[in-house]
C-alpha cells in the first residue's frame, strides 16, 4: 500500500516538473493559437450518375479526411445534385459515406436540387427528397429545407428556396425565422454563418457573371427578395453569408487586373458583414481562377475568421487566396 502511494507521489512530481520545464522552455502551446472552429465549404458539386463526378468529389473528401487539423464540419452549399433526382442523391450519399471528412456535415439546398419534378412549380417532391437525403448524409432530422445548427458554439443558419426556379423564393415565415435566429445568435462578438446557395443581387460581379449580355439586375442573385434578406443580414454584427451558384473561381489581384470590366471578387466586406461566394466544385470557372475541385477552409478565432482557398483534389492550399476577416466586439 505504501509502495503504491509512493509511486503515485513520484508520478505526480514528475508530471509537475515536466510541465514546468515545457512551459519555461517554450514547449507550452497556448490554446488560443488553435482555431475555435474549422470547417470546409464547397458548393455546386452537381452530382449526376456519372462516376467521374463522384470520383472528383471523392478526391476532395479523401483530402479532408487526411487533414492535419480535423474539420469540425463540411458544408455543401447547394446544387449538390444536378437535378435533385433520387439516383443522383444516392450516388452523392454513397460517395460521402465512404469517407470521414468532418465531425458534421451540413447540406444546403440549391436551385438544381429543386428540379426533381418535371412539372412547373412543383417544389414538394424536391423538398421531400432534400429532407430524406439530408438525414441520410448528415443525420439531421428536418421538417423544412431551411434550418439552423450549432457547432462548437457557433451558429449556422441554412436558408432554402421554397420553389423550383433558378432564383430563390423565401416565404414570410422563413424571413421572420431568419431575423429571429440572427437576433438570438448576435452575442459575444461571435460570427454567425448564414448559408444561402444564392448570393445577394448585385454582388460578386453580378449582374454580368454568366454571359456578357445579362442585364436583368436580379440575374444570378436571390431575386425579388434579395433586398429584404440583405436588410435582415446587415442589422447584425459579424454575419458571414456563404453562397455558391455563380460558378466563378477565386479572384486574386491578377484576375482582377485581367478583369477590369467586372472587377469580380469572391469575398466582399461591408462593415462587419462578409459575403463569401464559393466556386463550383465540379465545373471549371469562367471568371477568376478556373480550376475545379476548389473551395474554402474557414478557421474561426476569437477575434477573426481566416478563409483559406484550397484545391481539395490536388490537396493544395492556394496562398494567393487567403483572407483574414476581423470580428467586431
Ligand atoms: Fe450550380
What is the band of 60 on the pLDDT scale with cuts at 50, 70, 90?
A: very high
Asked if residue 108 and residue 13 are part of one domain, the reply reads no
Measured in Å, residue 62 CA sits from the centre of ligand 1 at: 22
Measured in Å, residue 164 CA sits from the centre of ligand 1 at: 14
Asked if residue 292 and residue 273 are part of one domain, the reply reads yes
Measured in Å, residue 13 CA sits from the centre of ligand 1 at: 60
Asked if residue 127 and residue 64 are part of one domain, the reply reads yes
Asked if residue 39 and residue 148 are part of one domain, the reply reads yes
Measured in Å, residue 102 CA sits from the centre of ligand 1 at: 23
pLDDT at 214: 58
Measured in Å, residue 112 CA sits from the centre of ligand 1 at: 7
User: Where is average pLDDT lowest: 14-18, 166-170, 274-278, 302-306?
Assistant: 14-18
Nearest to 62, CA basis, from 98, 92, 109: 98
pLDDT digits (tens, 9 = 90+) for 81-132: 999 999 999 999 999 999 999 999 999 999 999 999 999 889 999 999 999 9
Asked if residue 203 and residue 78 are part of one domain, the reply reads yes
Asked if residue 214 and residue 86 are part of one domain, the reply reads yes
Asked if residue 97 and residue 16 are part of one domain, the reply reads no
pLDDT at 320: 85
What is the band of 319 on the pLDDT scale with cuts at 50, 70, 90?
A: confident
Asked if residue 75 and residue 14 are part of one domain, the reply reads no
Measured in Å, residue 27 CA sits from the centre of ligand 1 at: 47
Mean pLDDT confidence for 291-320: 95
pLDDT at 13: 44
Asked if residue 168 and residue 24 are part of one domain, the reply reads no
Asked if residue 160 and residue 21 are part of one domain, the reply reads no
Tell me how many domains the chain contains.
Answer: 2
Measured in Å, residue 198 CA sits from the centre of ligand 1 at: 10
Measured in Å, residue 139 CA sits from the centre of ligand 1 at: 24
Residue 259 in this model has a pLDDT that exceeds 80: no
Nearest to 297, CA basis, from 64, 138, 86, 56: 64
Q: Identify which has the larger pLDDT, 2 or 196.
A: 196
Measured in Å, residue 81 CA sits from the centre of ligand 1 at: 9
Nine cell digits for residue 218: 436580379
Measured in Å, residue 115 CA sits from the centre of ligand 1 at: 12
Asked if residue 241 and residue 209 are part of one domain, the reply reads yes
Measured in Å, residue 120 CA sits from the centre of ligand 1 at: 19
Segment 65-71 long-range contacts (CB within 8 Å, at least 24 positions apart): 65/99, 65/100, 65/101, 66/315, 69/35, 69/38, 70/38, 70/102, 70/103, 71/38, 71/39, 71/40, 71/101, 71/102, 71/103, 71/297
Measured in Å, residue 22 CA sits from the centre of ligand 1 at: 51
Q: Identify which has the larger pLDDT, 59 or 204.
A: 59
pLDDT at 217: 57
Q: Where does the chain have alpha helices with state H?
A: 2-24, 51-65, 86-97, 124-138, 172-185, 226-233, 253-258
Sheet of 316-326, strands arranged across:
104-107, 73-76, 37-42, 294-300, 304-311, 316-326
CATH number at residue 206: 3.60.21.10
Q: Which structural domain, as residue segments, surrounds residue 130?
A: 34-326
Asked if residue 42 and residue 25 are part of one domain, the reply reads no
Amino acid at each position: 500500500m505504501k509502495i503504491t502511494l509512493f509511486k503515485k507521489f513520484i508520478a505526480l512530481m514528475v508530471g509537475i516538473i515536466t510541465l514546468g520545464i515545457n512551459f519555461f522552455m517554450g514547449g507550452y502551446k497556448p490554446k488560443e493559437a488553435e482555431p475555435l472552429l474549422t470547417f470546409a465549404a464547397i458548393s455546386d458539386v452537381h452530382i449526376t450518375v456519372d462516376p467521374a463526378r463522384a470520383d472528383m468529389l471523392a478526391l476532395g473528401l479523401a483530402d479532408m479526411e487526411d487533414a492535419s487539423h480535423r474539420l469540425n464540419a463540411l458544408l455543401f452549399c447547394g446544387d449538390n445534385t444536378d437535378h435533385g433526382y433520387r439516383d443522383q442523391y444516392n450516388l452523392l450519399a454513397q460517395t460521402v459515406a465512404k469517407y470521414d471528412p468532418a465531425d458534421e456535415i451540413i447540406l444546403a439546398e440549391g436551385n438544381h436540387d429543386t428540379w426533381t419534378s418535371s412539372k412547373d412549380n412543383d417544389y414538394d417532391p424536391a423538398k421531400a427528397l432534400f429532407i430524406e437525403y439530408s438525414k441520410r448524409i448528415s443525420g439531421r432530422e428536418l421538417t423544412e429545407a431551411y434550418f439552423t445548427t450549432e457547432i462548437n458554439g457557433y451558429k449556422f443558419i441554412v436558408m432554402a428556396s421554397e420553389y423550383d426556379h433558378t432564383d430563390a423564393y423565401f416565404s414570410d415565415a422563413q424571413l421572420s425565422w431568419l431575423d429571429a435566429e440572427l437576433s438570438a445568435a448576435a452575442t459575444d462578438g461571435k460570427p454567425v454563418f448564414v448559408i444561402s446557395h444564392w448570393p445577394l443581387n448585385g454582388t460578386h460581379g453580378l449582374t454580368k457573371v454568366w454571359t456578357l449580355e445579362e442585364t436583368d439586375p436580379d440575374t444570378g442573385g436571390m431575386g425579388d427578395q434579395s433586398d429584404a434578406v440583405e436588410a435582415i443580414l446587415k442589422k447584425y454584427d459579424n454575419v458571414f453569408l456563404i453562397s455558391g451558384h455563380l460558378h466563378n473561381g477565386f479572384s486574386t489581384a491578377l484576375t482582377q487586373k485581367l478583369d477590369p470590366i467586372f472587377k469580380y471578387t469572391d469575398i466582399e466586406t461591408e462593415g462587419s458583414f462578409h459575403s463569401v461566394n464559393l466556386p463550383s466544385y465540379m465545373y471549371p470557372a469562367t471568371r477568376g481562377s478556373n480550376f475545379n475541385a476548389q473551395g474554402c477552409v474557414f478557421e474561426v478565432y476569437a477575434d477573426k475568421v481566416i478563409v483559406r482557398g484550397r484545391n481539395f483534389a490536388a490537396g493544395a492550399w492556394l496562398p494567393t487566396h487567403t483572407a483574414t476577416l476581423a470580428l467586431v466586439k
